Amino acid sequence: MVEIFEPHAIEKRSMEIITEELNGRTWPEPQFSIIRRCIHTSADFDYADNLRFSPDAEKIGVKLLRNGCNIVTDTKMAFAGINKNRLEAYGGKAYCFISDKDVIEEAKERGCTRATVAMEKGGKLEGPTIFAIGNAPTALIELDNLIKQKKIEPALIIGVPVGFVNVVESKELIMRSGVPYIVAEGRKGGSNIAATICNAMLYYNGEI
């Protein structure tokens, strides 16, 4: 029998179902909120096992967002999915440079991906920056290169590209990079998951 819910109650009931189906498994907050929202977005309980957090990464992310940091995404889809009203209320701003004319032209000239050039451009922003990568392994590879060259120091990397080519390897690079990270190990992820992780930290209102 179909249950009828008021719109505001649908998410609440969904989270209740997720919690029930986790069969008592819990994580310290705000990790638990991030994991549940990723499951809610995807209906995929694998995120209970494949999300990896560097020490205190989720707390670092919440603090950064509450203090008005930048978010740079690799896709317009991830950019669109971030709650920019909430982000801007904290004084932060989201950016996606992937379709900028200068990025497109430089990528053609250099024979590299637009994601590579977009990460370089994002690294020039002033202030702490979270990089939320849901599609392009080359974005993670370039971030790792820039970190090694000491050209950038990301405040946090959300590394959740989805796919088959260099996806697993690029995530492993980030987990060895020495910067705070939230990574979905393996092939799963996506722009929606990158945005979801950002939103989960934006929506978290507990103490840190």
pLDDT at 25: 97
Residue-wise pLDDT tens digits, 134-146: 999 999 999 999 9
Cβ 195 vs Cβ 72: under 8 Å: no
What average pLDDT does range 13-34 have in this prediction?
Answer: 96
Indicate whether 3 pLDDT > 90.
Answer: no
Indicate whether 21 pLDDT > 90.
Answer: yes
Length in residues, the chain: 208
Retrieve residue 169's tokens.
């390897």
Indicate whether 8 pLDDT > 80.
Answer: no
What average pLDDT does range 23-37 have in this prediction?
Answer: 97
Task: Give the confidence band of 159 by pLDDT, cuts at 50, 70, 90.
Answer: very high
Q: What is the 3-state secondary structure (H, E, C) of the chain?
A: CCCCCCHHHHHHHHHHHHHHHCCCCCCCCCHHHHHHHHHHHHCCCCHHHHEEECCCHHHHHHHHHHCCCEEEECCHHHHHHCCHHHHHHCCCEEEECCCCHHHHHHHHHHCCCHHHHHHHHHCCCCCCEEEEECCCHHHHHHHHHHHHCCCCCCCEEEECCCCCCCHHHHHHHHHCCCCCEEEECCCCCCHHHHHHHHHHHHHCCCCC
Instruction: Round to whole Å and give the CA distance between 115 and 144.
Output: 13
pTM of structure: 0.95
What average pLDDT does range 116-132 have in this prediction?
Answer: 97
Query: Which candidate, 177, 124, 114, places its Cα nearest to that of 151?
Result: 124
Q: Is 40 an active-site residue?
A: yes
Q: Catalytic residue among 19, 27, 29, 40, which?
A: 40
What average pLDDT does range 88-103 have in this prediction?
Answer: 98
